[in-house]
């Protein structure tokens, strides 16, 4: 069966899984917790007019994601009629989830995106990273990508460099 052609007005599916992008600071507890997704608000503030569907799938730190969670994410991406999918995700295990999605992207463009500071913070990288993800979803050929730090990476060619607090091409880690 041939997949349907993607048109410029087909909605982008956004699956939220948690991670720093959706963290809240609780003063009384002096810790961060993942709250309700802020993605709809970010898209409204950015005046995004492209059709979008947002599905809150999980509310977990990526270090707490397990194989069952990754299977759920991959299954939702595979069963969705959307050919362009953006997945918000914590940065620590983003590449592991990208690996789990590799088989579902033969006819889809799947973008994983996160933030190094919560989206609710004024100095967050979340809005920019999300904008990169939306742009990539609209123009990249089928495959799995990660958009972080102003760069679009093929998901199998990137790692998080914890020392520098950034994502880099695999060959640049030393």
Gap between the Cα atoms of 142 and 104, Å rounded: 10
Point out the catalytic residue in the list 16, 17, 20, 147.
Answer: 20
* 20 is annotated as an active-site residue: yes
Catalytic site positions: 20
């Amino acid at each position: 069966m041939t997949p349907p052609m993607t048109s410029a007005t087909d909605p982008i599916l956004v699956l939220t899984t948690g991670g720093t992008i959706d963290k809240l600071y609780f003063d009384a507890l002096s810790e961060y917790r993942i709250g309700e997704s802020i993605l709809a608000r970010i898209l409204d503030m950015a005046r995004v007019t492209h059709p979008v569907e947002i599905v809150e799938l999980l509310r977990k730190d990526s270090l707490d994601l397990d194989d069952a969670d990754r299977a759920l994410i991959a299954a939702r991406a595979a069963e969705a009629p959307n050919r362009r999918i953006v997945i918000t995700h914590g940065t620590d295990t983003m590449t592991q989830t990208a690996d789990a999605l590799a088989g579902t992207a033969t006819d889809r463009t799947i973008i994983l995106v996160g933030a190094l500071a919560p989206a609710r913070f004024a100095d967050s990288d979340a809005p920019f990273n999300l904008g990169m993800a939306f742009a990539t979803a609209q123009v990249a050929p089928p495959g799995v990508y990660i958009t972080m730090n102003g760069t679009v990476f093929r998901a199998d060619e990137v790692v998080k460099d914890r020392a520098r607090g950034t994502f880099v091409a695999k060959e640049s880690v030393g």
